[in-house]
Amino acid sequence: MNKTVFKTTGRKTPPPAFTVEVQAGEFVFREGDLGTEMYIVHDGKVEISKDVHGEDKLLAVLEKGDFFGEMAILEDLPRAATARAVTDCTLLQINGSTFDQMMRSTPEIAVRMMRKLSRRLRETDLLLKQALGAPAGPMAEMPTPQPVPRPPNPPAAQRLAHERSGMEFPLSQSSETTIGRRDPVTGILPDIDLTPVDTQRSVSRRHAKVYRRGIKHFVAEEIGTMNGTFVNNVRIETGVPVEIKEGDEVRFGVVDTIFRGA
């Protein structure tokens, strides 16, 4: 049974996480699964494997204090590998909202995660060099990013209407629509760029996403958003999708929009 636990760092008390008991041999998740949580190993061992040409390749065995599954929270992508308990395990399960609070209250967690991602990047770079027969050496400097142009969205039935300006922002034709402001560092544009109506710069670069699931639509706030996302004047939790319907008021920072679904 899940239970709420607290861990202290000596400075601030981070938000609660939930423990999950997994028996030896059970899967925490499988490659390709959709996921909205990451995990920290509290007790036991977990192996991470990946399907390579039809065979499971062992990538790592994680022990107490190690974490995994964070890419599902950071990138909203299907699981890139499989996690299975080697022994009976107790895991701390962290969803997007709790993860966002932990980043704010316990910055050393963010530092650990950046170090882990940096190590993964170097390992991937080495594997690519080996595959291409290139000599090993320091990673090449990344080229200066250039703005990534996006073709204009074709007319869409679903859109966000900014009534003060009369502007309308159609949702992407794909199942997900990113909302925010243009990032001059990476040159990345969100599907909906609210810069023209965000005179107070209250919208984050990666502020939120709108998901289309069948005939329903949901909005979810991205991790690290500073000024909040509101549906009908109620602030939503980070990483927790909330359904939106025709005529609902959706506010990003101080930018008020109306969801038009037809």
The CATH number corresponding to 159-260 among 2.40.50.140, 2.60.200.20, 2.60.120.10, 1.10.150.120 equals 2.60.200.20
Residues 41, 92: Cα–Cα separation, whole Å? 6
106-131: average pLDDT: 70
The arithmetic mean of pLDDT across residues 205-213, rounded, is: 90
Average pLDDT over residues 193-209: 91
- Provide the β-strand partners of residue 106: none
pLDDT at 222: 86
Fold of the domain spanning 3-132: Jelly Rolls (2.60.120)
Query: Which DSSP letter does residue 134 get?
Result: P
Percentage of the chain lying above the pLDDT 90 cut: 36
The single-letter DSSP state of residue 17 is: E
Q: Residue 223: is its pLDDT beyond 60?
A: yes
Question: Residue 158: its pLDDT value, please?
Answer: 92
Q: Mean pLDDT across the chain, nearest whole number?
A: 80
Task: Return the pLDDT at 75.
Answer: 72
Residue 183 has pLDDT above 50, yes or no: yes
Indicate the domain borders of the chain. Answer: 3-132, 159-260
Band the pLDDT of 44: cuts 50, 70, 90: very high
pLDDT tens per residue across span 121-156: 776 667 667 666 666 555 555 455 555 555 554 445
**Residue 205 in this model has a pLDDT that exceeds 70:** yes
In this prediction, residue 243 carries a pLDDT of: 94
Q: Is the pLDDT of residue 202 over 60?
A: yes
Which amino acid appears at position 240 of this protein? V
Specify the amino acid at residue 85: A
Pairing of strands 192-193, 176-180: parallel
**Per-residue pLDDT at 184:** 66
Strand order of the sheet with strand 37-43?
Answer: 3-5, 17-22, 89-95, 37-43, 67-68
Q: Give the pLDDT of residue 137.
A: 58
Q: Do domains 3-132 and 159-260 have the same CATH topology?
A: no
Residue 14, pLDDT score: 44
